[in-house]
Structure 1
Amino acid sequence: MQYIDKQILEGKAVLFLGAGASYSCTNSKNVRIGFTGGELLQKINKEFLGNTSDSLTLDFASSMAIQISGRENFDHFIKNLVCDFEPTNEHKIITEFKWKAIFTTNYDEVIETAFKENKSHFQKVEKIISDNDSLQKVVVNPEKLPLIKIHGCISRTNDNRVPLVIESSDYRRHLENRSSLYQFLKECLTSNLVIFYGYGLADPNIIGILDDLEKDGVSRTRHIWLDPFMKDLHKKYWETKNLECIISNLHDFLTTIKNKKSNNVVSLNNILKNDSIISKIIPSNNRPGDELENYLLAQLIYFEINDEIKKESDNYNNDIFYRGNSHGFGWVNKNLDFKRTIEGTLENEIFENLEISNNHFNFLVINGYAGSGKSVLLKRLAWNGVSKFNKYCFYLKEGALLNTTLIFELINLIKEPIIIFVDNILEYQKEIIEIKNFSIKDRAKVFIVGTARSNEWHNNENTLDKLNPSFFSLKDLNDIEIKNLIDKLKEFNAEGNLKELNDSDKFKFIKEKSNNQLLVTLLEATHYGQEFSEIIKDEYEGIYDRSAKDLYLSICCLHRHGIELRAGMIKRLSGIDFEQFKQKFLQPLELLVVSYHSYRLNDIVFTSRHFHIAEHVFKQAFMSEMDKAQQLIKIIRYLNIGFDTDAKALECILKGKVLAEEFSSKDLAHSIFNIAQEIGVNNAFILHQRAILEINHSTPNFELALEYLKKIDNTDIYYDMRTVEHTKANAYRKLALNTISRHDKIKYRNFSLKLLNENIKTSTKTSMPYHTKGLVLLDEIKDCENENDLVDIIRDFENNLSAGFKKFPYDESLTLLEHDFSKEMNNSPRAIGKIKEALRKNSDNVYIVQRYAKFYISKKDYNEARICMLNFLRNDINNRYINYLMALSFINENESLYYQKAISYLKKCYSPNDTNYEPKFLHACLEYVYQSEEKALKIFNDLLQSNVKPRIKNKISHPILNTDGHEKLFEAVIVTINDQFGFVKTSKYAENIYMHKVSMVDQDDWEALRPGDPINITICFNFRGPRAKTAIIR
């Protein structure tokens, strides 16, 4: 079978249809109503231009028609011309094939109609008309066919962002809001077989795109141009341009291909083995459906030795693993990894305790810093779960999707507890919650074991913390692990320069490095005598092939942001196709680059071994800022915002604040924005980032920043205008700070405050408007010369701060703002004097009372603080802010003496479902220490479900004190203990108390501890309840 036939029959070809493809369309009465470009010109002339005899072009005529009648009327006219098109036989035969994509410059919906009428079609059509359509979701789904209408569609004539394109000699005019469509077209033209039909060979839309590819030096696939009326002269000319010109219509061409289709095509069911890969663990004669079978083969791996893993293991290059690349499974079977001391504890927790657990859903997270070895440990646990413990362990492969529908099918088939191992689990939050809900509803036992970076787990967007997982942390290498690492390097002859040292010096060297990332430690150990940055630089400089070196730099340019480089971009970046890339580049980059299939993108992707390595390569690769700018421009040209990864890359690369730090020359930074604008990136985004660059650069220009912001079209519904208004407010604040005119300071701050007040009304997900408003008010306080105004500004500041904390409890930026404000107040006796004077006139202003009370509580003058608060509470007895400050005054003065008073005030500060967590937490602490342990633990359990960052929940505070103010020592006995944490029992409290290894005064004592051992502890609290703060062996 020829290449062209094979590409089309395998669904890898792309169709590109022009006006000629709809020329033969008829209406329901079988009257032809399709038209050529010339016929359309006549219709426009007759309808709008009085049937003038002047020489006209379609471009000119349509522009004049729009001026005369308006865009809406003109589009309605076009819609009426094509809305009754019925599919022809050519359209119908298209539906009998699978396609990678169909592009068209036509506005009609005849293709959509043809697919609807063919009930046995292979794919469901999904229209892509603008950048805001879900190109990626359609492209990655084999059951969907992206129908990409680059000139618009009559189904969306009211969207002025993507108007119907009638004709133009320069297709670039229509890039904005369609850039992802054109970028995907260029990728297809570069890598796939494209069949053009319905175009003249001089069509400027197509010639412009092909010319761009030729200018870029891209060696593209030889495409097909179908035209039943093609002249020999044209045919000969265009065949020299790498086009296969065929004199035929589309129907005849596809009919010929269809007839070649083999009658012996083997169905998917026959390809699959008679026995499923999991047949031996299914307790019945059932077998997984084809989709689940494929999923288990490619994405969710049943982790036992099989032919594929054995082959990978036999051919595995050990250097890949010891250079910091843990992708794949070859190294697991070869046991290249060294044993972590936490491994035994985790095996017991996962494989032993699963049997006795009463919970249907079980959840464990291994956290640690980036490069600590989490991914390696996770694969080892999954492997051991099958090989050592005979458990049903499934590992989610790199780039795979966590398909909950198929996982539910798997659970129902096996009917036994299953364990699913998921690296970087925060990428799958929605799916994990779905699995949890299914597990509980169907009473099916499931254990999810995941990994997460410690800093990322504490983000606002983490919804998994509410599931209350068990936590185990990977820390720096301990002495046992260092010895294990040395033995493993020696066993596999991977010591590198470390081989020159004796065992004692090896241990000493790695011990000194063990507080670094494990990745860094490993590389510096095997390159003894070199620093990490030198190693990475030498690796980069050592790539002998210039093209391979450039490609590695491009990979690092993206991966420093955690983003993969798609294979779809490879040809456009390097000028060669993927197969050539594998032959030419994978060998010199084998030890440096990671590649795998991303099912989210339905493409092969490439990354460096670790984003920290990518950062070092990017920092050291450029001789000048100009070189750096050129590299970023090169990447930007080929990114496609229709793919989430590329859109994220553009967002990271084009951040004004980042470019302000990376480039001392603003002109270079703006040249990067210029290219982004040229390829059609959202204009509002570019103008916004230009403004942020001007505000944050070492040579700022706030007036220019405001000019950029004023150019933004505030009717752009696809861009968050609240962020633009916030940036404006910040620019006005900076202008006020940088002017010496009192009048201008007031003017700019008023502009800023007006914008921020509007921002606060509409912003629900960020504290930024509250924080910036607080900064503006603090600026005013520092500059205030009118003492009568000072009280009003302080009142406004307290009001803003209270409102901010109410919406965003424990917010770090607001906490820092309050600290700066308190510092300013403490250093301003005149301000406190004016507040006291204001209180004499009006003691009912809550914000003035708050500030006055806070000041005197900080000065330990509790009586003065309480006098003003009690006066206020006579008129507003249930005010939460003042009741909280009253409680705080008693706690700070003498907690053990006044705890009952403190509790009585704290109870008035919160209700069951509000966000006043701090008084609730203090109430729980006091209840535990002085009144009811049971009641306290109930409150702590409520706090555990609160919507705050995990870092806040886990932050320990409020230690239990003696009467002398020192931390109280409790005698305790160890109940249970593992490598990382345990539980202890005191005679004072009924429930066991959690104790982590880090609480030990001497952490070396931890290894010696056993259940029943006596120990002394001090106790503090977090949202999870009491915790051992310090511990020492008795």
Structure 2
Amino acid sequence: MVISVNTLVSNILPSQTVLLFGAGASLPSGAPSVGKLINDLDALLTEDTTGFSFAEVCSLVELKKSRKELVRQVRNSFRGLKPTGGIQSIADYDWVSIFTTNYDDLVERGFSKKNKQIRIYSTNFDFGDPCPPNSTPIFKIHGTIGLDVSDGHRSRMILTEEDNDLVEDYREALYDRMKNDLNANDVVIIGQSLSDPDLDALVKRAIRLNRKSGSAKKIFLLLYTEDHNRALLMERKGIQVAFGGIDEFFFELAKQSEQLVEVIDSSDDPVSERPILRAITLDIKHQFDLGNADFGKMFAGGAASYCDLRAGFCFQRTQKDRIVGRLKSTEQFSMILGSSGVGKTTLARQVACDLVESGYLGWEHNPDREFFAREWLGVAAQLQHDGKDGILVLDNAHLYIQDINLLVNQMSDEGYVRLRLILASARNHWKPRVKSPNLFKLGSVVDLSSLDSSEIGSLLALVEKVPEISRLVDRSFRGFTLQERRRRLVDRCNKDFFVCMKNIFANDSFDTIILQEFSSINPDYQSVYKAVCALESFGVRVHRQLVIRLLQISAQDVSLVLGNLEGLVDEYPINSRESIYGWSGRHPVISEIISKHKFNAQEEIYGLLKQVIKNISPSYDVEIRTLRQLCGFDGGLSKLADQGEQNELLRMMISVAPKERVPRHRLINNLIRCGNFSDAETEIRVFENDLRADGPVKRYKVRLLLERAVSTVGLMIEDKAAMLNDAYSASSSILSGDKFHRQNLQLHADVCLELYRVSGDYGFVDEVLDAMKYAEREVGDPDITRAIQRFERRVSPPSTTNAEMDVEIIEELE
């Protein structure tokens, strides 16, 4: 039976509700009906179009007049609109997302009037920009009134029949997002009448998506036009129908919200005053008392939590006191680098704990979310003003190094020295990326690898003293004296932290232990576990929705899967508002072992990567980051030896998210290194047309000139010299823009080396060495020192092959 608007409102919670707007949401504010739009367009045609649909009339206008005339007339019909009535209250609530078929910008203006953040999507080129955690995503299914291809924009208003075909990829991405949102949230569809074809199509789409997702969430339909017969048909399909308009809907919402009392945060913590940061930042002091210590999770390979540290479950690393002392006195930044399993994250947290206990304010950024440099600059400014000190831990710092560079440079320019940063990263991910010179001027690098004698002693003492740990020690290890335990750890484990831990608690080969454990898993769930491990080993942040789509798991079976993989796969929140929950194995080393043994054939790796890319939903930030991570230096694509297969997958990525620069960079780089110069030139030109040339693409243009000169057979010396001179002019110009940029230096060195080989003029070598040594003195980046040493080796002897240059080309990924 039909329900009242009051009942509808009482059954929803805005923070767990998706809104879908049809034309009925805009009509009270004066938006034209479809009939009015057709009449206005008839005036352009001066002929009768009775019986034609809106799309057909638009197609006729475009054919007989022009696209510009068509768009101009439609915009005239919407001129002068202002949000009135209930739609003005839309920004008062924290909706999960808003989908609308309307061209107008009434919803956007409602949010703007209340100074609330939104993220608007009207084309697939909008996927990829960072979305603040407190912003509301608005998906324009039919485009938006202010943007159209007739004005030179990539977004297009969906007016003609052809328009629907041209935006199919974008629409499918929206419907995929809608399915995910409907899986975890209720939905309210607000429209005029089910006789409206757009609204009818939207309702049918919502029903299909709801069924496909297997969700038990409810769909509500709010109709202004009473039609009890159609309502009865909708109810048979599981939709609850109410009669009323958008004004009544928001009036009832306001009545039920009157009892809510706003909570004022009186904390003097500068992060608590910033809504964007609150949602993605851990307060270290608060974490001390949150939950219980869990050595079992650490034993399984996880980093120590702040509770674990307070409980004494960790031994002291020698470097800790040195880092703390430097951050308190002479340094602002500390970079902790090492391979997986060496204890980088735990050491970073130990340092932060010491600083917090000495009076610092402390935070840790959630590495699964975007890093907002401008927000943290505001925190640094407030700390400086208040005379307080703060420490920020950034784990997996390589994932957002550009934003870190921005923050570090601006803090240096403004003289904000009260905010310290601890950056932890795997060395292989950190090294190729460009870092701000200020990181080295105001900080230092800590290389974490093997355990020293003091650390081994602390580890063994910890095993003896802490009951939760000592009872897990393997029997074969218990019988030895302290001296014998120490000797075996040194001899058998080469002092590696992660392997040391495993040899204390088990005496078998590490790989064998992991594979035996895998074989004991229920066969029905082995495929899930090995997929999660493989994706993690590819550098991907795995999450629930991606696994559901990839392995065709029903939403109802998720809890069953996690239950059967308890202790092996952990679920944690990434973005609770969007129902994004991460899935992680116990440790990257373990994931790498499973992946190596269960996906050891190239065709298996290629098949998995292809399926992942096909199932990407680009409307989610976490899935855009998945594309970037797959392109990473040690990411999934690097597991494929065949660059042709890599390129095919990169083209798929570009089709999914055309605004993403990283897959385009990687494709151009591959084409140049394979000698496909004409294809590389085409990709560079398309990149410049779509996104404008950035630093990497400018360098690739030079690299293309250089490789053509070096690799093309049959060139005369003067022709090769002319091409190299063009490359030299371009690389010199790039280097003059940033003399300390390591990749600019590397590129200029490669060009000058080839000019030296062609001309014999040693002046080119001197020029490069002078530039590199100047940057080395000013910046202090040890990677520049290594670049100098490599360059000197390549100059002498002169017979060094170009293969070495290829190996040293740094992939220009973001």
Q: Which residue of 2 aligns with 1:485?
A: 459
- The aligned counterpart of 2:541 is 564
1:135 CA displacement: 7.2
The answer to whether the aligner puts 1:918 opposite 2:750 as a matched pair is no
Structure with bigger RCO (C-alpha 8 Å, 6+ apart): 2
Counterpart CA distance in 1 for 2:142 and 2:339 is 48
- Shift of residue 17, structure 1, vs aligned partner: 1.0
What is the match of residue 263 of structure 2? Answer: 268
2:126 aligned with 1:147, yes or no?
A: no
2:738 matched residue in structure 1: none
Paired AA for residue 394 in structure 1: G
Q: Distance in 2 between matches of 1:432 and 1:688?
A: 20
Query: Matched residues in 1 for 2:403 and 2:646: separation?
Result: 41
Quote the offset at 1:517 in angstroms: 5.6
Q: How far apart are the structure 1 equivalents of 2:10 and 2:605?
A: 43
Q: Cα offset for 1:668?
A: 12
Distance 1:95 1:599, change over 3 A: closer
Say whether 1:22 aligns with 2:26: yes
Give the aligned residue type for 1:519. F
**For 1:955 and 1:682, how far apart are their aligned partners in 2?**
32
The corresponding residue for 1:82 is: 78
Aligned equivalent of 1:132: 125
Identify which of 33, 36, 44 aligns with 1:35. 33
Distance change >3 Å, CA 141–CA 707, structure 1 → 2? closer
Q: Indicate the structure with greater helix content.
A: 2
Inter-CA distance 231–254: structure 2 relative to 1 (3 Å threshold): same
State the partner residue of 1:908.
none
Aligned mates of 1:212, 1:57 — CA distance in 2: 25
Name structure 2 gaps, 5 residues minimum: 736-741, 791-814
Aligned mates of 2:411, 2:647 — CA distance in 1? 50
Task: For 1:165-244, list aligned pairs within 5 A.
Answer: 165-166=158-159, 174-177=167-170, 181-198=174-191, 200-201=193-194, 203=198, 205-206=201-202, 209-210=205-206, 213=209, 216-219=212-215, 221-244=217-240
Which residue number corresponds to residue 394 of structure 1? 362
Q: Is the counterpart of residue 338 in structure 1 residue 270 in structure 2?
A: no
Report deviation, 1:47: 3.3
In the TM superposition, what is the alpha-carbon distance from 1:226 to its structure 2 partner? Answer: 1.1
Aligned to 1:944: 777
**Equivalent position of 1:62 in the other structure:** 58
Matches within 5 A, 1:696-845: 714=686, 717-719=689-691, 767-780=699-712, 783=714, 789=716, 791-793=717-719, 795-796=721-722, 799=725, 803=729, 806=732, 807=734
* Equivalent residue, structure 1, for 2:244: 248
What residue identity is the alignment partner of 2:32? G
Alignment of 1:150-161 (within 5 A): 150-157=141-148, 158-159=151-152, 161=154
- Structure 1 residues 664 and 69: alpha-carbon distance in aligned structure 2, compared to 1, 3 A threshold: same
CA distance in 2, matches of 1:516, 1:73: 74
Between 1:633-642 and 1:287-296, the stretch displaced more is 287-296
CA contact (8 A) 1:219 1:575 kept: no
Aligned mates of 2:253, 2:419 — CA distance in 1: 49
The whole-number CA distance in structure 1 between the counterparts of 2:33 and 2:723 is 68
Q: After superposition, what is the alpha-carbon deviation per residue over 1:309-340, rounded to whole angstroms, capped at 9, x for unaligned?
A: 34523xx3322102221163232122222222
Match of 1:737 in 2: none
| 1:75 Cα offset (Å) | 1.3
Cα offset, 1:57, TM superposition: 3.2
Deviations 1:17-76 (A, max 9, x none): 1123333443xxxxxx6213x5544544553372145x4333333323322222221111
Distance in 1, Cα, partners of 2:700 & 2:687? 23
Distance in 2, Cα, partners of 1:82 & 1:383: 58
Q: How many positions carry a matched residue from both structures? A: 761
The residue identity in structure 2 corresponding to 1:945 is: E
Amino acid at match of 1:102: I
2:348 is aligned with 1:371: no
- The C-alpha deviation readout for 1:402-448, integer Å capped at 9, x for no partner, is 74255346625763544444434453665576577658857865544
Give distance in 1, aligned partners of 2:500 and 2:7: 50
Contact 1:219 1:576 in 2 (8 A): no
Contact 2:120-2:140 within 8 A present in 1 as well: yes
Deviation at 1:716, TM superposition (A): 7.6
Of 614, 621, 624, 1:647 maps to 624
Identity of aligned residues (%): 16
Which segments of 5 or more consecutive residues in structure 1 lack a partner in the other structure?
27-32, 277-286, 723-761, 826-846, 855-879, 885-915, 923-939, 959-1034
Task: Indicate which of 486, 490, 510 corresponds to 2:489.
Answer: 510
Of 291, 302, 307, 1:312 maps to 291
The one-letter code sitting in structure 2 at the alignment partner of 1:91 is I
Q: Shift of the alpha carbon at 1:103?
A: 1.7
**Paired residue type of 2:47:** G
Distance 1:918 1:302, change over 3 A: same
Structure-2 separation of matches of 1:169 and 1:200: 26
For 1:378 and 1:631, the matched residues in 2 are separated by 34
Instruction: Kindly provide the amino acid, as one letter, of the partner of residue 22 in structure 1.
Output: S
Q: TM-score, normalised by structure 2?
A: 0.77
Q: How far has the Cα of 1:457 moved from its partner?
A: 4.3
Distance change (3 Å), C-alpha of 1:441 and 1:772: closer
Letter in 2 for 1:662: L
For residue 376 of structure 2, what is the amino acid of its counterpart?
T
Residue 384 of structure 1 pairs with residue 384 of structure 2: no
| Bigger CA radius of gyration | 1
Q: For each residue in 1:584-643, what CA deviation from the matched residue of structure 2 results, as whole angstroms up to 9, or x when unmatched? A: 626734444363546999954343344454444444435977765664455334433344
Matched, 1:530 2:509: yes
Output the CA distance in 2 between the equivalents of 1:769 and 1:795.
17
What is the CA–CA distance in structure 2 between the aligned matches of 1:372 and 1:473, rounded to whole Å? 10
SS in 1 for 2:16: coil
Q: Within the alignment, does 1:471 sit opposite 2:445 as a pair?
A: yes
Partner of 2:188, secondary structure, is strand
- Report the CA distance between 1:303 and its aligned residue: 4.4
Q: Is the 8 A contact 2:342 2:497 kept in 1?
A: yes
1 CA distance for matches of 2:253 and 2:654? 42
The match for 1:635 is 612
How far apart are residue 123 of structure 1 and its match? 2.8
- Farther-moved stretch of structure 1 (377-386 vs 598-607): 598-607
Matched, 1:495 2:421: no
Q: Is the deviation greater in 376-385 or in 439-448?
A: 439-448
Report deviation, 1:550.
5.1
State the alpha-carbon separation in 1 of the partners of residues 327 and 664 from structure 2: 52
- The question of whether the paired residues in 2 share the 8 Å contact of 1:49 and 1:65 is answered with no
Q: Secondary structure at the match of 2:32?
A: coil
Render the CA deviation track for 1:348-381: whole Å, top value 9, x for unaligned. 4445xx3xx5xxx633333333432111112122
What residue in structure 2 maps to residue 519 of structure 1?
498
Compared with structure 1, are the counterparts of its residues 706 and 95 closer, same or farther at alpha carbon in structure 2 (3 Å cutoff)?
Answer: same
CA contact (8 A) 2:97 2:137 kept: yes
Q: 2:96 touches 2:578 (CA, 8 Å); kept in 1?
A: no
Query: How big is each residue's C-alpha offset from its partner over 1:945-994, in whole Å with a ceiling of 9 and x where there is no partner?
Result: 25x96411367869xxxxxxxxxxxxxxxxxxxxxxxxxxxxxxxxxxxx
